[in-house]
Amino acid sequence: MLRFLASLTVSSALVAALMAVLLAGCASTGSSNKATQGAAPETVVLVDHRNNTRMTLISDTWLRENGVPGEDYVARRAAFYSQKLSGDNLMVKIMNDDIAQGVWQLLSQSGFDRYGKPGAAPAAGGEMVQVIEVLRGGQYVHMGISKATPKAEGEAFKTCLFGFMDVYNNLLQLQTVDRMPAFRSSTTSGNPR
């Protein structure tokens, strides 16, 4: 139980750090050089081979690079979701590029840089029970956990996993509203019918 609570505390601290990064990015003048910060991931995927679950975070950069129409992030996100098939069980969420950069920073600080292996994650999983796969700068890197994973690497993976899950589950709260939709009343008094 104490280990679980400690993991939650670490995960909460990482999400708080992510929020600070995002708020600093929003407060900046926009003149920062993205190249000096490193490339934000285009996709971050969590695969759980125990129950064949695949959860995906897709960045606005990926949407642009894959020709999703729209003049800005909000329009591209809406276009992507409108193209998604009804009944499609893909668990995909779209993040803006600032969130994507924060996710990469969160993963890097949690040990993904140290333990990640080049290349796409094995499709069948092999011995890996869970895998986090990142597409960044056109290159895949993955990190997985199995029964044979050394303790330090396993702890780093769990921290990355909890951070991913916190972002995935709270993505709507992490993103700011770029523009509010204008609602028009159907009556002249402004009161709905």
* pLDDT tens, position by position, 156-172: 999 999 999 999 998 87
- Which residue type occupies 101? Q
**82-95 pLDDT, tens digit each:** 887 655 566 899 99
Q: Tell me: pLDDT of 150 over 60.
A: yes
Determine contact, residues 130/45, Cβ cutoff 8 Å.
no
* Runs of H (alpha helix) within 28-89: 34-37, 60-65, 73-83
Q: What is the mean pLDDT of the chain?
A: 77
